[in-house]
Amino acid sequence: MSTQSIPTLGETVAQTLTPTDFSLLTRNRIVNLQKLFPYIPEALNTIPLHFSAGADIFHETVEELHTDLDTALRELRIV
């Protein structure tokens, strides 16, 4: 996400939300966290997007989820 495409908080952010940004299970929860917190790394944002209404790819196993979490944590240098 480029700096120029990051909207400010408030109504401007709300206008950028699409149905694919929301949870597949709970339609009032935003799972595309980069829309709210643009500083979240892509690897970390991808994890909740697997549970979005617009997801094409889902976690088939816990191992896949674990691998994605491990990648995100390594990117953040937490592990």
pLDDT digits (tens, 9 = 90+) for 8-39: 666 778 888 999 999 988 888 999 999 988 89
Q: What is the per-residue pLDDT for 8?
A: 62
Q: What is the per-residue pLDDT for 9?
A: 63
Split into its structural domains, the chain has a count of 1
What is the C-alpha to C-alpha distance for residues 33 and 58, in angstroms, rounded to an integer? Answer: 17
Model confidence at 62: pLDDT above 90: yes
Q: What are phi and psi of 33, to 5 degrees?
A: -65, -25
Task: Find the domain containing 25 and state its range.
Answer: 3-76
Task: Spell out the SS3 assignment of 3-66.
Answer: HHHCCCCCHHHHHHCCHHHEECCCCCCECCHHHCCCCCCHHHHHHHHCCECCCCCCCCCHHHHH
Q: What is the per-residue pLDDT for 42?
A: 92
Q: In the predicted model, what is the mean pLDDT of residues 49-54?
A: 91
Average pLDDT, the chain: 86
Residue 59 tokens read as 């976690």
